[in-house]
Amino acid sequence: MFSAKPPISSSSSTFTSTVPMFFSGTNPRTQLPLLPGRRRPAANRTVRAVISRDEKGVGTATVVGGDEPRGLLPAEGLDVKVVLTIRKKMKEKLVDKVEEHWESFVNGIGRGIVVQLVSEEIDPVTNSGKRSVETPVRGWWPQPSNNPLISEYAANLTIPRDFGLPGAIVITNLHTKEFYLTEIVIHGFSGGPIFFPENSWIHSRSDNPQSRILFSNQAYLPLQTPDGLKDLRKEDLISIRGNGKGERKKFERVYDYAPYNDLGNPDKDEDFARPVLGGYQRPYPRRCRTGRPPAKSDPTTESRVDKPHPVYVPRDETFEEVKQATFSSGALRALLHNLIPALKAALSSDRQFECFSDIDQLYKGVLLKDDGPKAFSKPSLSKILTSIMNVSEMLLKYEIPSIISRDRFSWLRDNEFARQTLAGVNPVDIERLREFPIVSKLDPAVYGPPESAITKECIEHDLNGESLEEAIKNNRLFILDYHDLLLPFVTKINSLKGRKTYASRTIFFRTRFGTLRPIVIELSLPPTPSSPPKKWVYRHAHDATTHWTWKLAKAHVCSVDAGVHQLVNHWLRTHACMEPYIIATHRQLSFMHPIFKLLHPHMRYTMEINALARQSLINGGGIIENCFSPGKYSLELSSAAYKSIWRFDMEALPADLIRRGMAVEDLSMPCGIKLVIEDYPYAADGLLVWSAIQDWVVNYVNHFYTDAKAVTSDTELQAWWDEIKNKGHEDKRNEPWWPKLNTQEDLVKILTIMIWTASGQHAAINFGQYPFGGYMPNRPTLMKQLIPQEDEPEYQDFLLNPQYTFLSAVPSQLQATQIMAVQDTLSTHSPDEEYLGQLHESHSHWINDQQVMSYFEKFSSRLLEIEDIIHKRNKNFHLKNRSGAGVPPYELLLPSSGPGVTGRGVPNSISI
- Residue 27 φ/ψ, nearest 5 degrees: -100, 120
What is the Cα–Cα distance from 465 to 435, expressed in whole angstroms?
20
The DSSP-derived string for 696-736 is HHHHHHHHH--STTTTTT-HHHHHHHHHIIIIITGGGTT-T
Q: Which residue, among 545, 658, 604, 669, has the nearest Cα to 838 in the 3D structure?
A: 604
Q: Are 428 and 765 in contact (CB under 8 A)?
A: yes
Tell me which of 175, 203, 593, 762 is the catalytic residue: 762
What is the Cα–Cα distance from 521 to 525, expressed in whole angstroms?
14
Amino acid at 398: Y
Give start and end residues of each alpha helix (H) in 801-911.
Answer: 802-809, 813-826, 850-874
The contacts of residue 31 (CB under 8 Å, 6+ apart) are: 200, 201, 212, 253, 314, 315, 316
175 among known catalytic residues: no
What is the Cα–Cα distance from 461 to 467, expressed in whole angstroms?
9
What is the Cα–Cα distance from 660 to 429, expressed in whole angstroms?
8
What is the Cα–Cα distance from 825 to 829, expressed in whole angstroms?
9
What is the Cα–Cα distance from 798 to 687, expressed in whole angstroms?
46
**For the chain, how far is it from start to end, CA to CA, in angstroms?**
26
742 among known catalytic residues: no
Q: Are 555 and 501 in contact (CB under 8 A)?
A: no
Q: How would you label 877-906 residue by residue, b for 16+ Cβ within 10 Å and e otherwise?
A: eebbbbbbeebbbbbbbbbbbeeebbbbbb
Beta bridge partners of 477: 509
**DSSP letter assigned to residue 672:** G
Cα-atom radius of gyration of the chain, to the nearest Å? 30
Q: At what angle do helices 230-241 and 577-588 cross, to 10 degrees?
A: 140
> Pairing between strand 59-63 and 135-136?
unpaired
What is the Cα–Cα distance from 199 to 841, expressed in whole angstroms?
12
Tell me which of 203, 483, 570, 600 is the catalytic residue: 570
912 among known catalytic residues: yes
Tell me which of 203, 337, 556, 575 is the catalytic residue: 575
> Catalytic positions, please?
570, 575, 762, 766, 912
